[in-house]
Amino acid sequence: MLTEIPYAKKQLAEEKVFKDPVHRYVHVRDQLIWDLIKTREFQRLRRIKQLGTLYLAFHSAEHTRFNHSLGVYEIVRRMTENFKEHGEWSGEYRLLALASALLHDLGHGPFSHCFEKIFHTDHEEYTRKIILGNTDVNKVLKRVSPEFPREVAQVIDQTHENKLIISMISSQIDADRMDYLQRDSYYTGVSYGMFDMERILRVMRPSKEEVIIKESGMHAVEDYLMSRYQMYWQVYFHPVSRGGEVLLNLALKRAKHLYEHGHEFKQAPKYFIPFFEEDVSVDDYLRLDEMVVNFYLQEWINEDDEILSDLANRFVNRELFKYLPFDGSYITQSELEDLFKSAGIDPEYYFFSDSFSDLPYDYDRPGAKNNRKPIHLQRDSGELREISSQSAIINSITGVHRMESKLYYPKEKILEIEDLEIKGEIINILNQLA
Amino acid sequence: MLTEIPYAKKQLAEEKVFKDPVHRYVHVRDQLIWDLIKTREFQRLRRIKQLGTLYLAFHSAEHTRFNHSLGVYEIVRRMTENFKEHGEWSGEYRLLALASALLHDLGHGPFSHCFEKIFHTDHEEYTRKIILGNTDVNKVLKRVSPEFPREVAQVIDQTHENKLIISMISSQIDADRMDYLQRDSYYTGVSYGMFDMERILRVMRPSKEEVIIKESGMHAVEDYLMSRYQMYWQVYFHPVSRGGEVLLNLALKRAKHLYEHGHEFKQAPKYFIPFFEEDVSVDDYLRLDEMVVNFYLQEWINEDDEILSDLANRFVNRELFKYLPFDGSYITQSELEDLFKSAGIDPEYYFFSDSFSDLPYDYDRPGAKNNRKPIHLQRDSGELREISSQSAIINSITGVHRMESKLYYPKEKILEIEDLEIKGEIINILNQLA
Amino acid sequence: MLTEIPYAKKQLAEEKVFKDPVHRYVHVRDQLIWDLIKTREFQRLRRIKQLGTLYLAFHSAEHTRFNHSLGVYEIVRRMTENFKEHGEWSGEYRLLALASALLHDLGHGPFSHCFEKIFHTDHEEYTRKIILGNTDVNKVLKRVSPEFPREVAQVIDQTHENKLIISMISSQIDADRMDYLQRDSYYTGVSYGMFDMERILRVMRPSKEEVIIKESGMHAVEDYLMSRYQMYWQVYFHPVSRGGEVLLNLALKRAKHLYEHGHEFKQAPKYFIPFFEEDVSVDDYLRLDEMVVNFYLQEWINEDDEILSDLANRFVNRELFKYLPFDGSYITQSELEDLFKSAGIDPEYYFFSDSFSDLPYDYDRPGAKNNRKPIHLQRDSGELREISSQSAIINSITGVHRMESKLYYPKEKILEIEDLEIKGEIINILNQLA
Amino acid sequence: MLTEIPYAKKQLAEEKVFKDPVHRYVHVRDQLIWDLIKTREFQRLRRIKQLGTLYLAFHSAEHTRFNHSLGVYEIVRRMTENFKEHGEWSGEYRLLALASALLHDLGHGPFSHCFEKIFHTDHEEYTRKIILGNTDVNKVLKRVSPEFPREVAQVIDQTHENKLIISMISSQIDADRMDYLQRDSYYTGVSYGMFDMERILRVMRPSKEEVIIKESGMHAVEDYLMSRYQMYWQVYFHPVSRGGEVLLNLALKRAKHLYEHGHEFKQAPKYFIPFFEEDVSVDDYLRLDEMVVNFYLQEWINEDDEILSDLANRFVNRELFKYLPFDGSYITQSELEDLFKSAGIDPEYYFFSDSFSDLPYDYDRPGAKNNRKPIHLQRDSGELREISSQSAIINSITGVHRMESKLYYPKEKILEIEDLEIKGEIINILNQLA
């Protein structure tokens, strides 16, 4: 009588590899991982860009979340290979770590940030729903065991009891960040996101509570944290990219408003309706990828509503708003909005104040603004030390919170204001802000 | 009285740069180039992938024709900088070369190869139509002079009298190929497409008829030609990518068939109709980008026609056909198609024989299969020599014509054949082909 | 009558290029630069490693000062190309900047740090002497004008009246540092020294007093300063490399001691004698390259003096001392030296306390420990701001002074101590330090 | 009672890594390998440049054989890791493969090619002698077993019965070549030597007789062979580098001649004497590294013999001979030598005809000029095919034998010929050859 190999142990007859520009190759040996990659929910990530509107600022940033998800999986795979040689790693959680890494972004939708603001969806919630719902991913995960989907969901939403695995995927130095910094750096062509991941992987050690770093790896972590800081300010917060988000935001807001007020769309926005009504099933959610969003934005250019048509056209054809530094000190936002209104420009759709901030490294300590877990260094004696107590550089940036704000507005509309006095006043104010 | 600077001489107040992972930076100084990039027709290239379905084989090949077009422009810009120091280059054609380089792919549609086969469109024809038609690009080009659009179109379709400029953009060693080999190599993560472009640019010299190569650059050209050969066989002809094209091909053919036979589509394929009817205006053409094609393919999954639904689903969710080497020697295509038919599988939509071939280097000589112009080396004495007469390596590959054929079929359908005898026969044949 | 072209304007018939792994190519067009490279004093730099004993820690760090000097020249050449487009740069100092960049390290000898400590030479002084003395370099420089050698020497020793040119070669963000960080990073194989030099070059502007940075380049400078910090602590201060210096130091000290005490060397150290006597002519100095030093160290292995033989053997065959952190708090240096003495180990030659420190960025301000010039950012309005007042990251590291000390000793000799009590005491102390 | 671990099984407590720019890291776990690296004979390879005089053409090619030897070891280590998963590899030969890889170049002396021509030494013979002689390397190897040194020597001189291990280190696609192509490419800064080694390692399979290549890796091997071809013609055969060898050759020949004729050297060339007398012990051989050779060449500049002084000066200060293509068809070598003689230029020391040739790929077949073993591809069925029967590209270069010859001569001496008629005649001939 043949004993069947349990699914969790099934290996592919021959290792599959994906050629990857960042990690050279992504290696797959487990049947489970192979089957997950083939599901339609995972394939859908090919239709969601990793960096949303950033391609408007860095034309070459066109890679998708599929691309990134394979990368995070590969980094966790390498971690588990390295951990084998160390005591605290039993191996039984290996597959859980790999599957969670692969699926950690499964619930991301198109241009997540805008969508979440306008439609009050939450990609983390949908990640959980896709994993636990009636989906191909769920079916594949269940082949391991009936509880396996829930375990994967718990690792991803950080409620699982195994804190080590959570920290491999979500912490201040995790596989997610290590992949995206390098990957986004590679695709944008900037060098800032590069750091010595090989070295960091070599000095990572599993402990009960978290991944810790051998003391000799301190400088590599410093470099990683600085890379992260640079990528935020030089790439992720690029005002041109945020200008694209602003337009998308306003266009979606307008479309929702029109829907709510009974506007007759030439092309009924059927896939948007659940979002407008804020009653979005998993299927509705999965359906709305970037192809579909772009299709409708192109349709909306031809809608009769002037505002929607203009905003959609601006987004599709990259006719962005101008931006200026704006912190409300010279003139408040509401004062400026009133001026716009009096000039016949609707600030609801033609004015946007955008703020963003970053905290390069911090941890839960008296006076800290968050409750993040620290990065721990391990001395040869085994003793753990929080990293900023050892590194002058990290100490100097710990808790440094930097914030910037920008004002977005349509320059063309300002130039067309008919009331010359108001026009002059607005132009004068904008010049002061510059 | 102020004399206005003619548009052709207008320079941006400050140079604009695009960060580019392949060329580090793309530099723009001419007002014309900047204005062309901003047109909607050029921005549209952001919605057309450079490598069509290749992302199905190399997941990281997600870059667009926008990306590539900037690169070709940048290479030609560098050529013109280098040429300045050499006699034959007068500079008056500089802007023509730059604009032609930037716009050379303007008429590419989504998945061009499939579309052209099914709908009998021709991207070169549409490039010309967009440049000469009522478009933003045409308006910008006309600012240089009324004849300028026609000149650009002539350079691109290789009928312009200035053969030197044509050869910068279209020849056996042109800016187009030099960009795409490196760029596709970068994005796929393979190393094969890399060669020493800096060296090639340094040894290129302008002559009346063409770009020629200083003799000392021969080895760099050898390396370039081998890169090209490798990229064709290792990347561009990858059978998984062609398998995606096969599915797209069959799905479009089915949709057209249904349209022609009065099928009532749930979602009317309005943007496809001009293509189905083979009466496609420039506007119709520009509208149908990859976002729109993908939208409809996702729609078609829900159509009532089983074949269309199946093919669309396979394409969208990457459930590809299997493939086998197939040259018709063991069994002919029509014999095999008959067998499929007798098994209840429609070979019109579930059988595809695909051939592809490459000619690494050749030129118009007695016995040659084409009329390509040779690459010429220039000796110190000024004398020109055709490159294969000087390079043993290039000589050994000149005229080497390699061809391969593959058969694509749906494995699942074979396994479901009810007539066991026919099923056995087909499986036996496929095993023989393997 | 033919008017001769003045030497300063002479250009090579064809540009010469050096293939360079860091800058791709080094470009030479000026006859002056070409002639300087060919001088024997400049060729001698091929026999001086850029990083001294660092190859003992990073085996691949085998590049020379010749290599680096070409790189610094190339960076300054690019600066002058960029500066052409900006007001403050007249061009008349171009050749002075290039020659000074090329020759800035001309006076470096083998393992400069050790030599300067033991023999009280000073590489900056010898740079000046070589440029002004009876050398090939001096002859070539004089072809420009009789005063040209002195001008070059003044730029290099920072006394020239043109502060802009000095700051191109010697400042907190100069061509020297930009080259060595990248080059040393490339050769050691670490990634830490990489930063976006292309961007920095694009935002550098010439002013009367110094090179300034456009405000938009602030993040690139942050990244550069962090690279510098990392390279110091991860590479340049590597304790294994310093361990090599320690041995060399002690061996030279011993050889000098022996010479002073009338030791009869088997192979008379003729090229060392001027150094032992501290009366070193330019010719003596130029003669003593790393080939010669290594030759004698290999000879000294066979000398009758046991200490010299042992130290030379350890250096040549990489039998390094051990090292431990040492700050004098647990036991003072002189106490430990006394213990060594009582164990029969001469601390003069078998004990070394080594300190090193780094200041990532600082400038002359109240309370600062040095008088370095700040890096200035230029706003669009033209106004200058010291960089740490604008960058939170740079502010956080300004004036951060980090220092470390290590104790070097021969483990084997400790294990051979005959008096077991003293041996035990020493081993116990060393264990406490570890 | 404690059983001691046999030396062959001894592992380091913690893996040691060497940072390597080509392979990222070189990993050492075996005590044997660690001990071998520390021997003085292996450390000596730090004083022998990998590419001899090539730094005269590519200034950045300053790396040593130490550097390369670690790389070859690392590649073989990776091969053995990969082979573990395949049947034919028992693992018992692992250490033999690693040690042989590390030591394969142990017998290389300074500028081997010149030395071997002038002094009739043979680096392969000295590799064997060092491994089998009274050396530190021999002592370490013997710790494995008394026969182990002989086995290592047999693998390196290709007489060992295990053909698989031999082919890992010495074949048409071995670790030696794979390392040096990439490494020399990295250090020179050219891109030609790069190929996809990761892919080749993945498709290599151990068989009884040799390493074979899975058929799917054919294109990667094509690319590797073309890289090799390019490196030979663009880098290794660079005429400037060979010009350096020519000078060294002539200087050594002159020094030997003077020694044989009783010349009194100012500085007795003691380390050369065994070479002049062609009676070179292992110790004599090991002593003469590049430091020593350079020391004497610098000494010889000051010798009274005008020819030796001139040749040594030319080598040290890079005042190279000119070169011209020369195949003896326009004038024979002896005719030209006679002309030189009649002009008072001694052709023995001021004339050199240099030939070099390369065979990119060939194997022992009827009509072949050598007896190299072919590269075999393995089909899925297990069947082996010689690679040129499968690859059109490789077939086209198989047996293509390319040869070039150059004439080297001192231009300055020609210009100084007093007899104007002979001078004119010689100049005329040289112009014809150009």
Mean of all residue pLDDT scores within chain C: 93
The span from the CA of A426 to the CA of B14, in Å, is: 26
Q: Which residues of C touch B198 (CB under 8 A)?
A: 24-25
* pLDDT, tens digit (0-9, with 9 covering 90-100), for A132-171: 999 999 999 999 999 999 999 999 999 999 999 999 999 9
Q: Which of A82, D253, D270 is nearest to C299 (CA)?
A: D270
The span from the CA of A289 to the CA of A271, in Å, is: 10
Query: Measured between CB atoms, which of A190, A196, A226 is closest to C191?
Result: A196
Q: In one letter, which amino acid is A120?
A: H
Q: At A352, which helix (H) or strand (E)?
A: strand A352-358
Closest residue on chain A to B21 (Cα): A189
In this prediction, residue A342 carries a pLDDT of 95
Q: Is the pLDDT of residue C88 over 80?
A: no
**Cβ contacts of B110 within 8 Å, gap of 6 or more:** B47, B48, B49, B52, B288, B289, B290, B292, B293
Q: Is the pLDDT of residue A1 over 70?
A: no
Closest residue on chain A to D85 (Cα): A14
- Which of the listed ranges A357-366, B87-96, B153-162 does the model predict with the highest average pLDDT? B153-162
Q: Which two tokens stand for residue D88?
A: 């034919």
In this prediction, residue C31 carries a pLDDT of 97
Q: Which residues of A touch B292 (CB under 8 A)?
A: 295, 298
Q: In one letter, which amino acid is A389?
A: S
Contact B106, B285 (CB under 8 A): no
In this prediction, residue D325 carries a pLDDT of 92
Q: Which of D353, D265, D264, D249 is nearest to D311 (CA)?
A: D249
> How far from each other are the two terminal CA atoms of chain B, in whole angstroms?
80
Q: Which residues of C touch B220 (CB under 8 A)?
A: none
The span from the CA of C415 to the CA of C427, in Å, is: 9
In this prediction, residue D400 carries a pLDDT of 79
In this prediction, residue C429 carries a pLDDT of 95
Q: At B154, which helix (H) or strand (E)?
A: helix B148-156
Q: Which two tokens stand for residue C217?
A: 């380049």
Which of the other chains make 3 or more beta carbon contacts under 8 angstroms with chain C? A, B, D
Q: Which two tokens stand for residue B254?
A: 């089915």
Stretch B34-50: mean pLDDT: 98
**Cβ contacts of C101 within 8 Å, gap of 6 or more:** C72, C73, C75, C76, C77, C168, C169, C175, C176
Would the CB atoms of D291 and C287 count as touching at under 8 Å? no
Closest residue on chain C to B24 (Cα): C198
Query: Measured between CB atoms, which of C18, C21, C59 is closest to D70?
Result: C59
Q: Is the pLDDT of residue C368 over 80?
A: no
The whole-angstrom distance between C396's CA and the closest CA on chain A is 5
Distances (CA, A) of B361 to A153, D224, D233, D398: 55, 20, 21, 19
Helices (H), D84-217: 94-103, 112-119, 123-132, 136-142, 148-156, 163-169, 175-188, 197-203
Q: Which residues of C touch B24 (CB under 8 A)?
A: 198
- Which of the listed ranges A134-143, C229-238, D77-86 does the model predict with the highest average pLDDT? A134-143
B-C interface: how many C-beta pairs under 8 angstroms? 6
């002919």: which residue's tokens? B332
Contact D43, D291 (CB under 8 A): no
The residue of D25, D39, D59 whose CB has the most chain C CBs within 10 angstroms, and thus the best one to mutate to test that interface, is D59
Which range (D159-163, D189-193, D205-209) has the least confidence? D189-193
In this prediction, residue A94 carries a pLDDT of 95
Q: Which two tokens stand for residue D226?
A: 């073309």
The whole-angstrom distance between A98's CA and the closest CA on chain D is 22
Mean of all residue pLDDT scores within chain D: 93
The whole-angstrom distance between A73's CA and the closest CA on chain C is 24
**Cβ contacts of D13 within 8 Å, gap of 6 or more:** none
**Cβ contacts of B297 within 8 Å, gap of 6 or more:** B248, B251, B312, B315, B316
The span from the CA of B308 to the CA of C430, in Å, is: 79
Q: In one letter, which amino acid is D330?
A: Y
Helix, strand or coil for residue B20?
Answer: strand
Q: Is the pLDDT of residue C380 over 90?
A: no
Query: Measured between CB atoms, which of D24, D198, D202 is closest to A198?
Result: D24
Helix, strand or coil for residue A195?
Answer: coil
The whole-angstrom distance between C73's CA and the closest CA on chain A is 24
Q: Which two tokens stand for residue D397?
A: 């270069």
Stretch A51-56: mean pLDDT: 96
Would the CB atoms of A397 and C400 count as touching at under 8 Å? no
The whole-angstrom distance between B399's CA and the closest CA on chain D is 11
In this prediction, residue C2 carries a pLDDT of 62
Angle, helix C112-119 to helix C239-260, in steps of 10 degrees = 30
Would the CB atoms of C219 and A192 count as touching at under 8 Å? yes
* pLDDT, tens digit (0-9, with 9 covering 90-100), for D29-55: 999 999 999 999 999 999 999 999 999
Would you state the torsion angle of the CA atoms of residues C324, C326, C330, C336, taken in this order, to the nearest 10 degrees?
Answer: 80
Distances (CA, A) of C199 to A332, C196, C218, C219, C290: 36, 5, 10, 10, 37
Q: At A249, which helix (H) or strand (E)?
A: helix A239-260
The span from the CA of B345 to the CA of D175, in Å, is: 51
DSSP string, C47-61: GSBTTGGGGGTSTT-
Q: Which residues of A touch B294 (CB under 8 A)?
A: 47, 291
Q: Which residues of A touch C400 (CB under 8 A)?
A: 392-393, 396
Q: Is the pLDDT of residue C398 over 80?
A: yes
State the DSSP code for C274.
H
Helix, strand or coil for residue D404?
Answer: strand
**Cβ contacts of B90 within 8 Å, gap of 6 or more:** none
What pairing do the DSSP bridges indicate for beta strands C11-20 and C322-325?
Answer: unpaired
Q: Residue A381: which pLDDT band, with cuts at 50, 70 and 90? A: confident
Q: Residue B191: which pLDDT band, with cuts at 50, 70 and 90? A: confident
Q: Residue B83: which pLDDT band, with cuts at 50, 70 and 90? A: very high
Q: Which residues of C touch A (CB under 8 A)?
A: 190-192, 194-196, 219, 222-223, 226, 229-230, 233-234, 392-393, 396-397, 400, 402
Residue D392, beta-bridge partner list: none
Query: Measured between CB atoms, which of B59, B66, B70 is closest to A18?
Result: B59
The span from the CA of C231 to the CA of B128, in Å, is: 54
State the DSSP code for A39.
S
The span from the CA of C315 to the CA of C318, in Å, is: 5
Contact B89, B41 (CB under 8 A): no
* pLDDT, tens digit (0-9, with 9 covering 90-100), for D253-277: 999 999 999 999 998 899 999 999 9
In this prediction, residue A370 carries a pLDDT of 64
Helix, strand or coil for residue D52?
Answer: helix
Q: Is the pLDDT of residue B9 over 90?
A: yes
Contact A42, A103 (CB under 8 A): yes
Domains of chain B plus CATH, in order, are: 7-236 (1.10.3210.10), 239-356+405-433 (1.20.1250.30)
* pLDDT, tens digit (0-9, with 9 covering 90-100), for D87-120: 678 778 999 999 999 999 999 999 988 889 899 9
Q: Which two tokens stand for residue D330?
A: 């326009």
Distances (CA, A) of D360 to B233, C163, D399: 21, 56, 7
The span from the CA of B285 to the CA of D110, in Å, is: 68
**Half-sphere exposure at residue A158, Cβ-oriented, CA atoms within 13 angstroms:** 10
Closest residue on chain D to A27 (Cα): D202
Q: Which of C427, C411, C428 is nearest to C243 (CA)?
A: C411
**Cβ contacts of D25 within 8 Å, gap of 6 or more:** A198, D17, D18, D19
Q: Which residues of A touch C233 (CB under 8 A)?
A: 219
* pLDDT, tens digit (0-9, with 9 covering 90-100), for C209-218: 999 999 999 9
Q: Which two tokens stand for residue C80?
A: 């002058």
The span from the CA of D317 to the CA of D309, in Å, is: 12
Determine the longest span between alpha carbons in chain B, in angstroms.
Answer: 93
ipTM above 0.90 for this complex: yes
Q: Which residues of C touch A190 (CB under 8 A)?
A: 196
Query: Measured between CB atoms, which of C18, C70, C189 is closest to D21?
Result: C189
Q: Is the pLDDT of residue B323 over 60?
A: yes
Query: Environment class of residue A367 by beta-carbon count within 10 Å: exposed (0-12), middle (13-18) or buried (19+)?
Result: exposed
Q: At A224, which helix (H) or strand (E)?
A: helix A218-231
The span from the CA of A91 to the CA of A86, in Å, is: 11
Q: Which residues of C touch A195 (CB under 8 A)?
A: 191
In this prediction, residue D85 carries a pLDDT of 79
In this prediction, residue A369 carries a pLDDT of 63
Q: In one letter, which amino acid is C5?
A: I
Contact A403, A357 (CB under 8 A): yes
Query: Measured between CB atoms, which of B196, B233, B396 is closest to D400?
Result: B396
Stretch C360-385: mean pLDDT: 84
Percent of chain A with pLDDT over 90: 82
